[in-house]
Amino acid sequence: MNTLILSIILVPIIEIYLFIKIGSQIGALNTILLIFFTAATGILYARYEGLNTLKSGFSQMIKNKTPAYEMISGAAIAFGALLLIIPGFATDLLGFLIIFPLTRKLFFGQLSNKFKKEEKEKNNYIEGEFEDIEEDDDRKI
């Protein structure tokens, strides 16, 4: 079965299960307040981390380096913020893991290293000079 279809089916089932379990322990109102609190906290922290990533990306560009990790990190932060907006405890946990710099580096560090390695391979070039030679020139080979 396609993983997208499977995740569309499984994620709501997991979220409903967690709502019922946590709601029975702490109460319905507290569960709803906790959902709103995690969403608001996550969005504020995502904004803070997004601005830090933007600053880091600009500093990499000033150093004339490709901000590969910063680009991946920015997209990951946007996805993490989306997960935090979606109501649910499992999506909130995954969103917080993506937003925190330490876990984000563990998830996406290898991917950015691949981009940096490809860039180093692309910069292998030989400099030289050339001169146009006319048709009637004796130096033509």
- Express each pLDDT in 89-141 by its tens digit: 999 999 888 888 888 888 776 766 666 666 566 656 667 777 777 766 565 55
Spatial contact of 85 and 43, defined as CB atoms under 8 Å apart? yes
What pLDDT, on a 0 to 100 scale, did the predictor assign at position 71?
84
Question: What's the confidence (pLDDT) of residue 66?
Answer: 79
**Residue the block writes with tokens 């994620």:** 11
- Cα 101 to Cα 104, 116, 140: the distances in Å are 5, 19, 61
- The amino acid occupying position 83 is L
Domain ranges (residues) in the chain:
10-122
pLDDT tens profile 43-60: 898 888 888 888 988 888
Residue 50 pLDDT: 86
Dihedral Cα 11, 23, 97, 62, nearest 10 deg: 100
Reported confidence tier of residue 74, pLDDT bands at 50, 70, 90: confident
Q: Structure tokens of 18?
A: 């967690």
